[in-house]
Every structure is written in structure tokens, then in C-alpha cells.
Amino acid sequence: MNAPSLDRRAFLATAGAFTLSFTVADARAQQTGAPSAPWAAYLSVGQDGKVLLLSPTTEMGQGTHTAHAAIIADEIGVPLSWVSVETALPSDPFRRNGAMGSGGSAGVRAWYAALRQVGANARASLIAAVAGKTGAPVGEVTLVDGRFMRAGQALPVTLGEAAALAAGQPPVQGVLRDPATFKYVGKATPRVDIPAKVRGEPIFSQDFTRPGMVYACAVLAPVYGGAADGFDDSATLAVKGVQQVVAIPGGAAVVATSQWAAMKGAAALKVRWKATPIDGLTSGAISAAMLAGLDKDAEAIVGKAEGDTAAALAGAAKVFEADYEVPYLCHAPMEPWSITVEPTADGGLEIWGPFQTQDRNRSTAAKTAGIDPSKVTLHTLMLGGGYGRRLGDDGTPGAVLVALAVKKPVKFFWRREDEIGQGWYRPAQVARLRAGIDASGKVVALHVRTAGPSMRHTFSPTGLPKGEIDGSSVQTLTDTRYRTGAYRVDWVRVDQAVPMAPWRAVGATQNGYFMEAFVDELARSLRKDPVALRRELLAHDPRALKVIDAAAKAGDWGKPLAAGRARGFAYVESYGSLCAQVVEVSLKDGAVTIHKATCVLDCAQVVTPDGARNQIEGGMIQGLSSGLFEGIEIAGGQATNRNFDGYRIMRINEAPHAVTTVFIENSEIIGGVGEPPVPPATPALVNALFALTGKPIRKLPIAATLAS
Amino acid sequence: MTTITLNGKSITVTSDPDTPLLWVLRDELGLKGAKYGCGIAQCGACTVHVGGQPVRSCSVQIGDLDGQSVTTIESFDGKHPVQQAWVAAQVPQCGFCQPGQIMSAAALLNENKAPSDDDIDAAMAGNICRCGTYPRIRAAIKAAAKA
Ligand code: FES
Ligand code: FES
């Protein structure tokens, strides 16, 4: 439970463990009629009774390892403290849609049922073994708190002994327990990774070492997509501890005996950068190109069209229209990128790092080395923040090339300036919303057009073919529950050479802001209360209304306010969860104070309530931070704000003192928790400021708009 | 060669005098609790105590610390009241900023047994948490103050 054991084979050897294997048919095999694939080794139970769960997900602070441990502990019937969790090596049982990875707030909802079955099967196998040994009828043996019981009496077999007996026996299909008996799932279960984290144990990629390891500091082209035209390493090689400089894609890496020597050598390296087509690119030019895109009707790709929106707008008594703009956002995990690569004796690679996409990184490493992916063993360490940034594989090829050049284990790392300057960002985007209103004040048409670069095009290895829509550019718009009469969503593609990737909650972040800021402006133009207008647009949907009403209640909507304060409301559904938020603010000398923040989340079912609450608090703060302060500034084809002095992140004195969270549970399909709290936060803040000042905020970050 | 008292023990380190304390701890001494987050005294991930005061170890050179006393998270055994409050409040998410947060909070509570919200803001504003655990940090500091 302390530091995760980094070497599963060592764990298995020392714990005298063996693997229970269970046959649960894999859906694809069933479809093709092929024999059931064994659903392999998720669990091993040592002779000491310790349970090791190999999790399909990466732990980056979102608490999925705790949720998975809780599911296993409850289904088997052992104390949670007996269960430890590691991220599995990439292999079939841990893949979804053909690849292993963590994203889309799927860590719990996609694995909940499967892991319950794994635990139930383990329990059934163990009980069968105990029944065989003691002669007790299988139906009378239960497993409670790690003890085998019959008729209220403990049987004289330990979990470890039972595991030894069960090994090699044919797998048994278990029956799921009644969730009412769960001790950890749905309860205030402490996170399994927290004790090591408060002790400062070396659990992160940055901390990981191998015998004989050297350090390699990346020196990357400042311009996006830039490349080196050669370098002068004389000053670098004179730095004590520096061993050599290796050319890598996009620049060079300085290899040294310590991380500091590598950084010092990197600072001394003189690289000649090749000219690029975007050497003059600026934020202003990107902004102008996107805004021009809004007018390009012929290029608009339709995401959704219900009714004749153009006709309905033309025939409306009144049309209300507004344009909005958001900048590129950096994930800025607190741990800058690092990865350890070790060439193995058989010509393969062993890799340790912070991955959200294990298979993608494994194939990239293999391709770089010119070997088969089966020769790459890829271990996932604890992530010092991910939020989507570690879905990429851009930091892996350089590391592999350095390891192959020096033929030693290498820790390859980026400095903070590259973590921000070479981020794969949340796209910059603009939107134009036009609502048609009839004579009675009812919304009868809505046209939402977004314009900007395609995130999917730069993130997906295969790109996005021309003419196809990037779903993230219209995410949460195409499936909104709002009923606005005729409805059309389209997107104009305006590509840029700036790399992008999913950023926590992805397209819901910008589109949630566009829609929700517009709804408040529309409400004002109609002289309606913003919550009342949302209720009107959702009148047909009891589930959504419940969320709206719960947030209005918990957030004191309509209650008297202290002088100089105002509240803002926003509602965005993403990743299967409905989320509404209320933010209460004041403004002094251009500085925003967030007094209160309230969040209602309908995710249907909460597996680890306190962990989920922590996700909501953090998600809201990340949303508030990005809306208030964040944006990559580009000049000369490169980010000019490359560290935390320029890329401003919310600090404790700027954050709400308390976040009130309310969960709504029901029998709907379980929704995500990690991402859905992010998108409503920015528009709730924007709407509170709009209520306070009467001036709409149509361009983010808010702080820049307030200052302009 | 610089002699410091590290977590109560006198030691001599051989890193060049211009080496930041952070890298002496991490590279030479193998103490990985203090983290590299920015290298320019902006994020607080590298916070340790020098003479009882919270210091961004990425931005002080070891040569300037001769004879000084340095305390790192490794000297807290998990039983420190701040660590206990952190576990009770379930503060960390990814955890990367947390050693720095804990060191800043411990320094605050050494000087101020009952910090107000403004005191907490002033003492903790140098520590960024990208995961946004600030409400829990605030609650845990208050709980530790009462412990
Ligand atoms: S690493 Fe020292 S303050 Fe950020
Ligand atoms: S817990 Fe992740 S940065 Fe603070």
C-alpha cells in the first residue's frame, strides 16, 4: 500500500504468489465465435493473503486505483488494506477498443462491472477451494473481511492458504454480491495512494532511478514543429558531468551524470534552428483567421441540423447574436515530462514513465527503435498530473534515441519551459451564436457556429480528413438537452501549426462557455432570469430540471446578496454526467474574488464519494483558473509565456475557500466524474461577472478582458 | 564542499557551490521528496525549510548555505501533525505539489498556531496545485492548527 511495487515479477517471487486466472469471455471473441479468451490475470493473491490488483488505468490523482481496489475488496470480501494496485503492462485484458489508456472519465464507469465480476470470480474460486478442503458445502461458505465463514463460525483456512489451493483449479464463475453489502464502494473510503503522497515518497516518474542511469535534458525548438540545423556544444561539453549531446527530433538532448548537470549543459547549448513557415505567427493572426472563418458559410461542416434554422431565424421577431473567443490552454501538469528508457540485453526496451496511453507510447517507442512492440516492456508510474497531456507520445521518441545512443538507462526530461511551450493544447476557438425569438419571447431557433483548428487532426496519428467534422469542435453542442426550436450546429475548420490534444473535458470546455455565456446574455435581452430561461429550455427533461433546481437551491440562487456581489449559473453535460454550478463573486480594482462555488453533479452513481468530491473541487478550480487567467500567448511562432510567471495558474488566495458539492444518484447509466465538473466553472464565473457589471465577457481569459 | 545540517545530521556535500539546493538533495543525496516544478521560484514544489523558514530550494545555491540547517519532507515520518491532517482531509490528488505544500504549511504552523484565512493565503500563495486541492489544504491547515 505504500510505494507501489515497481516490479511485478519481484512481487510475485517474494510473495510466493500465483495468479488466479478467470475465463470471462471477451466480447469480440464471442461475436466471432472464437473460443473465449481468458480474461487473464487482473489479480494475484499471495500466500500472505495480500491481493495485488493490476488496474487498466493510470493513477494521476483522479482516484481510480482506490475505486478499483474498493470494488475488488468488496466483491471478494477482504479488508481494503489487503489490496494493493498497480497499473498493468499493456496487454489485451486491459485494453478498451484495442488500446490501453486512461481518458474520457472512463476509469470507473467503463470498468465497474468488469472488475466486480473479476472479484466475484476470485471469491467463487477461493470458496470452492475452501469447500473442497474442509468438506463444507460450497453454498454454505462465505468470505467476510478476509475470513471464510460457515454458519457464523470461522473456518480454519486463511485467504493465502485458500489461494494456494485454488491455484491450478478450473476457474469458477462467481455471482455478484448485493451492493447493499458493500463496505467500501459508495462509502467514505480513504484513497490508497495518499499515505505515500504525504510522505513525499519517490513514486513519480521524475523520482524513478535505475542503476547506472544517466540524465538527458531536452533542448527543443521554441517554434512549434521546428527543427535543429546543427548545434555548437563546446560550452555544453565543458560543463562538469556532461557526457555528450545527442540529436533528437525537434532539437537535441544533453546527456549528463546528474539532472542538474544536464540542465546546466542544456542552458549552454547553442542550437541553430531551421526557418519554419510559422516563424511570424502570432496570437492575433490566429484570432483573425478564426474570426474570418465564422463568415465562411460554404466551408461549414454540419454537426447537427434540426428543422430549417435559416428560415426560422429569418422569420423570427428578433435575433440575438454574439461572438465568443477562447485561447489555447496548456495542461501544465505540475510534474514536467520525464521518462526512463533502458535498452535490454535482447535488443528490446524497458520503459518507465507517466502514460495515459500505454499502447500508443509502446508502439511509438518500438517504431523509433525499429523493433517489434512485443520487445518493449512499458511500466506506468504515478502521474504528477495528466489532465490529458499524457495521452500524447511526443516525448517518447527522443528518449528512445538517446537510450540507444548511450546504451544505458536514461532519464530523459523536459524543462518547465518546454512543458508549457511545447504543450499539446486545448484548441483556441471562436463561436457565433444566433438565437431567433418569437413575438412572445420564446426561443424558436438557434444556430451555433464554431471555428478553429481541429484538435483531432494534430492529436490523432492519422489526422482528420478534409470535410470531416472534429467531434470535439462541437462537443456538448450536438447533444445538448436544450430545446431551442430549429437548431443547427456547424464548424469551420481553420487549421494552425500549433499542436493540440484533449484537455480535461476537451471540447466541452470551450463549447460549454460559448453556450452558457450566450444563454445568460440571451436571458438578459429577454428580461428573464437565467435559471428560469434554462428551465424553459429544459422543460421537457425531468432529469436535467432536477439538476438545475438542485444547483439553484444549493447555490442560494435568488437569495439576497451582500453589497457588491453577484451570482452566476451554468449547466453543461459531458461524459455522461449532468453538471450545474453557481459561483458567487465580487470585483475590486479589476481583481475577482470568488466567495462561493457550488456544484451539483448527476453522475447516476458515486463509487468513491470523497474522491469524487475532491475531483469536483479540483475540476471547478481548474475550470475557474483557465477561464480567469490562462491562455498561451504566441509571437514569432512560439509560446511567449513558458513558465508559471507568464502562464498564470490559480493560487490558493484566488481560489474559492469552499466548494459545496451535491451528488444526484439514480438508476441511469453511470457517468464520469473527473471531467464533467470542469466545463460549467468558467461560464458560471463569466455569468456572475456579467450580472455584477452588466458587461458581457466574450473573450477569455477573463482577467485580460477585464484589463482591456 | 559545503557543510549543512540536514534533517538533524551534519553532512558535507560535494556539489559545486552554484548548484541549487534542490539538485543537491535530488541528485547528490537521493532525497526525492522536494520536486522540480518550475526552477524559478514560482511553483513551490521544491519547498524545504532552511533555518525553519520555507525556501524554494530550486533558487538557493548550496554554497550560500554553509552551516545552515535544512529540513526536508523526509524528516517527517508520516506522523507530523500536518501530514496527519493531510491524510484526514484526503488532500492530495496527483500529489506532486504536496511535499512542497506540506513544508509550507508546517513552517506556517511553527510560527502561527492559529492562522486566519489571510495568514493561510499569505503563507501558501507560493505553492501552486494544478489539481486544485486548495479548499482541502485550507481545511487541513486549520485542523492541524487545532491538533
Ligand atoms: S521548482 Fe522551485 S519553486 Fe518551482
Ligand atoms: S495534487 Fe496535483 S498538483 Fe497538487
Mean pLDDT in residue range A443-451: 98
Q: What is the C-alpha separation between A579 and A570, in angstroms, rounded?
A: 8
Among candidates B32, B40, B133 on the partner chain, residue whose Cβ is nearest the Cβ of A618: B133
Nearest chain B residue (CA) to A195: B87
Quick one: CA dihedral A380, A385, A390, A391, positive or negative? Answer: positive
Ligand 2-lining residues (CB < 6 angstroms): A 61, 334, 385; B 92-98, 129-131, 133
Residue of minimum CA distance from atom 4 in ligand 2: B129
The mean of the pLDDT values for chain A is 91
Candidates A199, A210, A596: best to mutate against B (most CBs of B within 10 A) is A199
- Single-letter amino acid code for the residue at A144: V
Instruction: Give the per-residue pLDDT at A140.
Output: 96
Mean pLDDT of A438-457: 97
- Chosen for mutation from B36, B82, B104 (greatest number of chain A CBs closer than 10 Å) is B36
Q: Which residue of A has its CA nearest to B38?
A: A416
Which region holds residue A590: left if phi is over 0, alpha if psi is between -120 and 50, else beta?
A: left
pLDDT in tens, A164-195: 888 878 878 899 999 999 999 988 889 999 99
- A334-351: b or e for each residue (b if 16 or more CB lie within 10 Å)? bbbbbbbbbbeeeebbbb
Report the C-alpha gap between A432 and A518 in whole angstroms: 9
* pLDDT bracket for residue A108 (50, 70, 90): confident
Q: Is A620 on the interface with B (CB under 8 A)?
A: yes
Arithmetic mean of pLDDT, A34-41:
33
Q: What gap in Å lies between CA B21 and CA B55, rounded to an integer?
A: 10
Verify whether the Cβ–Cβ distance B35 to A335 is below 8 Å: yes
The sign of the torsion formed by the CA atoms of A346, A351, A357, A358 equals: positive
pLDDT of A6: 28
DSSP string, A339-401: EEEEE-TTS-EEEEE--SBHHHHHHHHHHHHTS-GGGEEEEEPBPS--TTGGG--TTHHHHHH
Which chain B residues touch A649 with a CB distance below 8 Å? 128, 130
**d(CA B54, ligand 1 centre) in Å:** 12
Report residue A188 as a C-alpha cell: 467514505
| Model pLDDT for residues A391-428, shown as the tens digit of each residue | 999 999 999 999 999 999 999 999 999 999 999 999 99
- DSSP notation for A614-641: HHHHHHHHHHHHHHHT----EETTEES-
User: By the 8 A CB rule, do A431 and A323 touch?
Assistant: yes
Q: Residue A654 and residue B121: Cα distance in Å, rounded?
A: 9
| Chain A: closest CA distance from residue B58 (Å) | 10
pLDDT, average across residues A545-557 = 98
Using the Cα atoms of residue A564, residue A570, residue A575 and residue A576 in order, give the sign of their dihedral.
positive
Chain B residues in contact with A616 (beta carbon < 8 A):
none
**Could you identify the atom of ligand 2 that is nearest to the CA of residue B91?**
1
The pLDDT value recorded for residue A22 is 32
Q: pLDDT for A490-512, tens place per residue? A: 999 999 999 999 999 999 999 99
Structure-block grid coordinates of residue B47: 519547498
State the DSSP code for A238. T
Number of Cβ within 10 Å of residue B1's Cβ equals 10
Radius of gyration of chain B (CA): 15
The string of DSSP codes covering A154-207 is E-S--HHHHHHHHTTSPP-PPPPPPGGG-SSTTS-PPPTTHHHHHTT-S-BGGG
Cell of A687: 455569468
DSSP state of A653: G
Model pLDDT, residue B110: 97
Partner B contacted by A190 (CB < 8 A)? yes
Q: State in Å: Cα B48 to ligand 1 middle.
A: 11
**What contacts A520, CB < 8 A, 6 or more positions away?**
A530, A568, A569, A683, A686, A687, A690, A691
How far is the C-alpha of B71 from the C-alpha of B11, rounded, in Å? 13
Residues A685 and A702 sit within 8 Å (Cβ to Cβ): yes
Taking Cα atoms as reference points, which of A530, A559, A602, A580 lies closest to residue A681? Answer: A580
Question: Residues A375-400: what's their mean pLDDT?
Answer: 95
Ligand 1 atom, smallest distance to A644 CA: 4
- Whole-number Å distance between alpha carbons of A52 and A69: 9
Set of chain A residues whose Cβ sits within 8 Å of the Cβ of B27: 258-261
How large a percentage of chain B has pLDDT more than 70? Answer: 100
What is the rounded average pLDDT of the residues A682-707? 98
- Which chain B residues touch A651 with a CB distance below 8 Å? 124-128, 134
The band of A62, judged by pLDDT with boundaries at 50, 70 and 90, is: confident
Query: Does ligand 1 have an atom closer than 6 angstroms to the CB of B82?
Result: no
CA–centroid distance for B56 within its chain: 8
CA A367/CA A383 separation, integer angstroms = 24
Question: Cβ contacts (< 8 Å) between B102 and chain A: which residues?
Answer: 198, 200
Q: Which helix (H) or strand (E) holds A325?
A: strand A318-326
Is A218 an interface residue toward B (CB < 8 Å)?
Answer: no
Interface check A416 vs B, CB under 8 A: yes
Task: Give the other-Cβ count within 10 Å of A168's Cβ.
Answer: 10
Nearest CA to ligand 1 atom 3: B41
**How many residues are given for chain B?**
147
Beta carbons of B28 and A63 less than 8 Å apart? no
Q: Answer whether B39 sits within 8 Å of A263, measured CB to CB.
A: yes
Cβ neighbours of residue A694 under 8 Å, at least 6 residues apart?
none
Q: Please state the rounded mean pLDDT for residues A89-103.
A: 84
pLDDT at residue A111, as a whole number: 86
Q: Between chain A and chain B, how many beta carbons pairs sit less than 8 Å apart?
A: 188
Dig out the grid coordinates for A566 from the structure: 453577484
Q: Tell me the pLDDT band of A105, cut-offs 50, 70 and 90.
A: low
Cβ contacts of A554 within 8 Å, gap of 6 or more: A582, A598, A600, A660, A662
Best mutation target among B131, B136, B141 (most A Cβ atoms within 10 Å) is: B131
- Flag the least confident range among A73-87, A160-174, A423-437: A160-174
Q: Does the CA dihedral A195-A197-A202-A205 come out positive or negative?
A: positive
Average pLDDT on A209-225 reads 97
The parts of chain B modelled with pLDDT lower than 50 are none
Distance from the B128 Cα atom to the nearest Cα atom in chain A, whole angstroms: 6
Residue of A nearest to B44 (CA): A334
Which cell goes with A277? 513557415
Residues of A in contact with B14 (CB under 8 A): none
Question: Which ligand approaches the C-alpha of residue B97 most closely?
Answer: 2
Q: Say how many Å lie between the CA of residue B26 and the centre of ligand 1.
A: 13
Q: Which residues of B touch A655 (CB under 8 A)?
A: 132, 134-135
Question: Do the chains contact at A384 and B28, CB–CB below 8 Å?
Answer: no
- Name the β-bridge partners of A331: none
Q: Which ligand is located closest to the Cα atom of residue A387?
A: 2
**Where does residue B44 fall: left (phi above 0), alpha (psi -120 to 50 degrees), or beta otherwise?**
left
- Which residues of chain A lie closer than 8 angstroms to B115, CB-CB? none
Please give the residue of chain B at the shortest CA–CA distance from A190. Answer: B90
**Ligand 2 mutation pick, B42, B129, B138, max ligand atoms within 8 A of CB:** B129
- Give the CA angle between residues A403, A341, B56 to the nearest 5°: 105
Q: What is the pLDDT of residue A10?
A: 32
Tell me how far CA of residue A330 lies from CA of A285, A372, A498, A654, in angstroms.
19, 33, 12, 19
Query: Which pTM was predicted?
Result: 0.93
Nearest CA in chain A to B45: A334
Q: What percent of chain A lies above the pLDDT cut of 70?
A: 94
pLDDT greater than 50 at residue A156: yes
pLDDT score of A109: 79
Cell triple for A470: 472534429
Contact B94 A657 (CB under 8 A): no
Tally of CB atoms within 10 A around A153 = 9
Chosen from B40, B91, B94, B138 to mutate, greatest number of chain A CBs within 10 A: B94
Residue in B closest to A675 by C-alpha:
B131
Q: Name the minimum distance, in Å, from the CA of A675 to any CA of chain B.
A: 12
Q: Is the pLDDT of residue A23 over 80?
A: no
Are A622 and B16 a contacting pair at CB < 8 A? Answer: no
How far apart (Å, rounded) are the C-alpha atoms in residues A134 and A136?
A: 5
- Chain A residue numbers with beta carbons less than 8 Å from the beta carbon of B126 are 651
Cell of A103: 481518458
Antiparallel, parallel or unpaired: β A486-493 and A443-452: parallel
- The whole-number average pLDDT for the span A8-28 is 31
